[in-house]
């Protein structure tokens, strides 16, 4: 049996995934497609000369750090794409996440409301502004640190009521804040 080039295998799998996602679409209001962005560390111990600068320490973890985009379909969480975070002086995890969002085919972004779910690595002002922009027009449910400042000088940790509409320092549009 001949070897298939990796890219053609990826294209075939992505085509299948797109068909699967589109099969979930129902008549009526535009359905929601959840897209999870995650920064994952594949921890490494020892020396890895063949990985050169890819293995590094980030957030006290030594390993290969990758931003991964998953599509949520029913109970399935399907990896769509990933980018390696190469550390200081290279694109940040939130910039890598924006590149990952750009890999979503227009058939999905036109057919679904996209809800981007991410942790604090992706709760930057730049990321929030970009996913809300006309370029993306997505909704976001993102983690933000409780030390984050609001425009009135308070911190998120000072808030007492869930579901409040607030303005984060540096962000012109309001956000709703909750916690678990």
Mean pLDDT of 152-168: 92
User: In this predicted model, what pLDDT tens digit does every residue of 142-159 receive, in sequence order?
Assistant: 999 889 999 999 999 999
pLDDT reported for residue 54: 77
For residue 2, pLDDT beyond 70? no
User: In this predicted model, what pLDDT tens digit does every residue of 54-85 receive, in sequence order?
Assistant: 777 777 787 888 999 999 988 889 999 999 98
Q: pTM for the whole thing?
A: 0.83
Place of tokens 């890895």: 48
User: In this predicted model, what pLDDT tens digit does every residue of 107-136 receive, in sequence order?
Assistant: 999 999 999 999 988 999 999 999 999 888
DSSP state of 49: G
> 4 pLDDT band (50/70/90 cuts)?
low
Contact 122, 130 (CB under 8 A): no
Contact 109, 90 (CB under 8 A): no
Rounded distance, CA 8 to CA 5, Å? 6
- The beta-strand segments (E) located in the chain are 32-43, 55-58, 61-73, 76-84, 113-118, 139-142, 164-166, 175-177
pLDDT reported for residue 115: 95
Domains of the chain, CATH where assigned? 27-143 (3.30.420), 144-180 (no CATH)
pLDDT reported for residue 57: 75
């Amino acid at each position: 049996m001949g070897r298939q080039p990796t890219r053609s295998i990826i294209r075939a799998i992505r085509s299948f995934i797109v068909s699967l996602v589109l099969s979930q679409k129902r008549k009526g209001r535009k359905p929601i497609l959840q897209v999870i962005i995650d920064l994952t560390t594949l921890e490494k111990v020892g020396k890895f000369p063949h990985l050169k600068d890819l293995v590094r320490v980030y957030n006290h973890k030594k390993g290969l750090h990758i931003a991964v985009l998953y599509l949520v379909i029913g109970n399935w969480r399907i990896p769509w794409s990933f980018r390696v975070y190469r550390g200081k002086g290279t694109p940040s995890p939130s910039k890598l996440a924006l590149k990952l969002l750009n890999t979503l085919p227009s058939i999905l972004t036109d057919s679904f409301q996209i809800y981007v779910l991410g942790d604090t690595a992706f709760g930057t002002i730049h990321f929030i502004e970009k996913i809300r922009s006309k370029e993306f027009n997505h909704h976001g449910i993102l983690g933000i640190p409780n030390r984050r400042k609001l425009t009135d000088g308070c911190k998120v940790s000072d808030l007492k009521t869930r579901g409040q509409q607030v303005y984060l320092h540096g962000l012109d549009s309001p956000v709703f804040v909750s916690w678990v």
